[in-house]
């Protein structure tokens, strides 16, 4: 691995752009390759076998064909299902995953009640169960809401559906506020959800704080690159290439909306590695 090689960032769709924004802010000298597996999104309502298969194939593509020096799995579902397999496959490579930001949420709460909004796949994973068991003691209550359809609505930029789903899932959280028994901190447990925060905030009203994972992931990536002596100086210039396994239109439009990048290498369509088998949908 060479210091000048790019960092690979991967998600099932556009959600990982929220992590990418934090990465580019902290590591302005790095070149990034962002891969959206849009032909097979969303992952959150798929089975583990499907997610593992796609994660391994996309990682193989980024490592073998694009020579990335590090990999950021900017997808909670893929992290929960497959990051241990990626680390086994490439033990010498810095690999960073994402998980719901439960630890900072528990540090912020005043009522002792926090909620996690996430995909069904993330909430059902053993990794998430262990996280809750490890961090949430008797003094804390963690409420979980599986937000079916929200990531896909964000992916399709369907504003009305996003607004309606945000209202629905905030209602499912239960009482919100800063009084005893009310939820005062909400964890955005999917990298898509920060792009719906304006609607989530409107539905929740005042007195509720939202936390996400982008900045902690960027900080961890910077640390691992520095430890491996793979980090680029800030004045190197950096850059970004967008790749998609499907129609790249949504990805490019999302990048235009959510990223301020003067020089963007656009590849409208790059078919990823073919599916070896169908997996369990």
- Same domain, yes or no: 240 and 146: no
Q: Report pLDDT digits (tens) over 12-33.
A: 999 999 999 999 999 999 999 9
- Same domain, yes or no: 20 and 83: yes
pTM of the model: 0.85
Q: Residue 277 domain-assigned?
A: no
Find the mean pLDDT for residues 151-160.
92
- Same domain, yes or no: 35 and 159: no
- In angstroms, the CA 220 to CA 94 distance is 10
Task: Report pLDDT for 250.
Answer: 81
Q: Report pLDDT digits (tens) over 209-236.
A: 999 999 999 999 999 999 999 999 998 8
Active site residues: 75, 190
Can you read off the two tokens belonging to residue 60?
A: 């193989």
DSSP string, 127-194: HHHHHHHHH--TT-EEEEEE-TTHHHHHHTT-HHHHHHHHHHHHHHH--BSSSTTSB-EEEE-STTGG
- Same domain, yes or no: 261 and 238: yes
Among residues 188, 211, 234, the one where a domain terminates is 211
Q: Residue 257 domain-assigned?
A: yes
**Is residue 180 pLDDT above 70, yes or no?**
yes
Can you read off the two tokens belonging to residue 224?
A: 């691992």
- In angstroms, the CA 123 to CA 229 distance is 35
Q: Report pLDDT digits (tens) over 30-53.
A: 999 999 999 998 888 788 999 999
Q: Residue 1 domain-assigned?
A: no
- Can you count the helices (H) and strands (E) in the chain? 11, 10
- Same domain, yes or no: 206 and 113: yes
- Same domain, yes or no: 81 and 106: no
**Quick one: the chain helix, strand, coil %, rounded to 5?**
45, 15, 40
Assess contact for 99 and 131: CB atoms under 8 A.
Answer: yes
- Same domain, yes or no: 107 and 141: yes
Q: Residue 280 domain-assigned?
A: no
- In terms of Cα–Cα distance, which of 18, 21, 19, 24 is closest to 6? 24
For residue 55, the domain's CATH number is 3.40.50.1860
Task: Report pLDDT for 12.
Answer: 93
**Is residue 276 pLDDT above 60, yes or no?**
no
Indicate the pLDDT class of residue 279, thresholds 50, 70 and 90. very low
Assess contact for 268 and 248: CB atoms under 8 A.
Answer: yes
Task: Report pLDDT for 114.
Answer: 98
How many domains is the chain partitioned into structurally? 2
> HSE (CB half, 13 Å, CA atoms) of 181?
2
Please state which of the ranges 99-108, 166-175, 236-245, 272-281 shows the lowest mean pLDDT: 272-281
- Same domain, yes or no: 229 and 182: no
**Is residue 7 pLDDT above 90, yes or no?**
yes
Assess contact for 112 and 130: CB atoms under 8 A.
Answer: no
- Same domain, yes or no: 58 and 183: no
Indicate the pLDDT class of residue 80, thresholds 50, 70 and 90. very high
Domain range for residue 159?
102-211
Q: Residue 152 domain-assigned?
A: yes
Q: Residue 274 domain-assigned?
A: no
- In terms of Cα–Cα distance, which of 103, 33, 35 is closest to 75? 35
């Amino acid at each position: 691995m060479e210091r000048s090689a790019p960092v690979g960032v991967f998600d099932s769709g556009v959600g990982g752009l929220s992590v990418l924004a934090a990465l580019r802010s902290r590591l302005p000298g790095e070149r990034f390759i962002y891969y959206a597996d849009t032909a097979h999104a969303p992952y959150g309502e798929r089975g583990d076998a499907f997610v593992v298969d796609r994660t391994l194939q996309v990682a193989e593509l980024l490592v073998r064909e694009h020579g990335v020096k590090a990999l950021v799995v900017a997808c909670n579902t893929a992290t929960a299902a497959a990051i241990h397999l990626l680390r086994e496959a490439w033990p010498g490579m810095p690999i960073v995953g994402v998980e719901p930001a439960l630890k900072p949420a528990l540090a912020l709460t005043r009522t002792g009640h926090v909620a996690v909004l996430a995909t069904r796949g993330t909430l059902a994973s053993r990794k998430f169960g262990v996280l809750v068991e490890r961090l949430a003691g008797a003094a804390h209550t963690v409420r979980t809401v599986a937000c079916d359809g929200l990531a896909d609505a964000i992916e399709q930029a369907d504003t009305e559906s996003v607004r309606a789903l945000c209202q629905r899932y905030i209602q499912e959280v239960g009482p919100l506020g800063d009084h005893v028994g009310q939820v005062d901190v909400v964890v955005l447990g999917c990298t898509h959800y920060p792009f719906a925060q304006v609607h989530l905030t409107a539905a929740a009203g005042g007195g509720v704080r939202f936390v996400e994972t982008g900045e902690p992931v960027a900080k961890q990536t910077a640390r691992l690159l520095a430890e491996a002596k793979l980090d680029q100086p800030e004045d190197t210039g950096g850059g970004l290439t967008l790749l998609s396994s499907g129609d790249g239109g949504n990805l490019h439009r999302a990048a235009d909306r959510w990223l301020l990048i003067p020089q963007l290498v656009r590849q409208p369509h790059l078919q990823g590695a073919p599916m070896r088998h169908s997996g369990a949908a």
